């Protein structure tokens, strides 16, 4: 399997180390939360940019902590599939990656201070909790990623909290509508984590992890993954029918082929390298769903005002 894995060098290696396919989990919820704030008045684009950068940097740092601690615990080898294994394949000093992650956290703190100065210092506590969860996802003595709670923590932090913080810094409040519309984001971010755990199921078993996919088995994990997708789309349909959303929000239907393709691949193949496209389709589902929903909210706002 080793010679089927492409080893990146130069800037591509560093870019791949950030795990770019996961960065949409930071961008899309921030954009969605900002579009939710449209009916409340003019948007502050500097706050939007600061929030977006801080979220992306925290996600990058979290991925690097993952890389570092997976190496330290012996989970990554030269045959690791995907982005993991950069340290062993490219002989990068582990401390370099750890220090880079800490630097990204430092920049995020500075951006967070600016956001707090413009809005509320209560956000500092929320931000620090989010950063702590990012670190302890794979760091510390009891990593979250080694438990069945990975999907829950990642979904709530990257899905719900990012939407609500992005909404709050524009409006100074958190509305019931914002909470309701963050639910699909929670489900789709959790789906990204579940897809990762389905792919790595056998390797994670050897590494001592107890992920939800391992505890329930591969077939049930795929059923849960399917449930995440179905519920996310059904939630928007329900809000259009009963929650006051305009039909423009149904633009999310345009990306329905992505999750269908992901599930088909997971059902057909088992080897980690074979299911890599399903990982991409799952991440794209989160991206396109949130962006299309945000665009639908924007069009709905413009056509009703």
Q: 22 lies in a domain?
A: yes
Given this model, what pLDDT does residue 1 score?
A: 39
CATH code, domain carrying 60:
1.10.600
Half-sphere exposure of 175 (CA within 13 A, CB side): 16
Residue 19 · residue 281 · CB < 8 Å: no
Pairwise CA distance, residues 305 & 2, whole Å? 58
The pTM assigned to this predicted structure is 0.85
Report DSSP state, residue 155: I
The confidence score (pLDDT) of residue 78 equals 52
| CA distance from start to end of the chain | 58
Does 38 fall in a domain?
Answer: yes
pLDDT, averaged per 10 consecutive residues of the chain (305 residues), comes to: 48 71 81 92 92 91 82 62 57 82 93 95 90 84 88 90 94 94 95 92 85 95 97 97 92 97 96 91 94 93 82
Q: CA 94, CA 76: separation in Å to the nearest integer?
A: 12
Q: What is the pLDDT of residue 5?
A: 46
Q: Which domain holds residue 208?
A: 2-299
Decide if 128 is inside a domain: yes
> pLDDT value at position 91?
66
Return phi, psi of residue 85, to 5°. 100, 5
Tokens at 212, concatenated: 């939800």
Question: Can you tell me the distance from the alpha carbon of 288 to that of 185, in angstroms, rounded to the nearest whole number?
Answer: 11
pLDDT at res. 297: 93
Query: Does some domain include residue 65?
Result: yes
* Residue 255 lies inside a defined structural domain of this protein: yes
Whether 27 is in a domain gets the answer yes
Residue 58 resides in a domain: yes
pLDDT at 118: 95
In a domain, 305, yes or no: no
- When divided into structural domains, the chain yields a total of 1
């Amino acid at each position: 399997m080793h010679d089927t894995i492409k080893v990146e060098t130069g800037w591509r290696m560093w870019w791949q180390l950030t795990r770019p396919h996961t960065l949409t989990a930071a961008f899309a919820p921030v954009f969605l939360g900002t579009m939710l704030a449209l009916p409340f008045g003019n948007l502050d684009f500097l706050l939007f940019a600061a929030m977006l950068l801080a979220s992306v940097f925290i996600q990058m740092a979290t991925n690097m902590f993952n890389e570092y601690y997976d190496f330290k615990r012996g989970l990554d080898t030269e045959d690791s599939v995907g982005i993991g294994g950069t340290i062993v394949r490219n002989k990068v000093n582990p401390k370099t990656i750890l220090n880079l992650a800490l630097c990204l956290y430092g920049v995020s703190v500075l951006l967070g201070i600016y956001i707090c100065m413009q809005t509320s210092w209560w956000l500092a506590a929320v931000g620090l909790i989010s950063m702590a969860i990012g670190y302890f996802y794979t760091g510390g003595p009891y990593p979250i990623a080694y438990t069945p709670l990975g999907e829950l923590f990642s979904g709530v932090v990257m899905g719900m909290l990012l939407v609500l913080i992005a909404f709050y810094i524009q409006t100074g409040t958190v509305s019931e509508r914002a909470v309701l519309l963050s639910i699909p984001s929670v489900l789709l971010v959790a789906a990204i984590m579940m897809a990762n755990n389905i792919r790595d199921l056998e390797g994670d078993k050897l590494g001592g992890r107890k992920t939800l996919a391992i505890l329930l088995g591969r077939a049930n994990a795929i059923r849960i993954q399917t449930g995440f997708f179905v519920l996310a789309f059904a939630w928007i349909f329900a809000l259009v029918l009963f929650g006051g959303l305009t039909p423009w929000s149904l633009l999310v239907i345009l990306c329905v082929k992505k999750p269908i393709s992901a599930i088909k691949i997971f059902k057909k193949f088992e080897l980690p390298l074979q299911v890599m496209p399903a990982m991409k389709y799952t991440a794209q589902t989160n991206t396109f769903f949130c962006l299309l929903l945000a665009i639908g909210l924007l069009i709905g706002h413009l056509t009703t005002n």
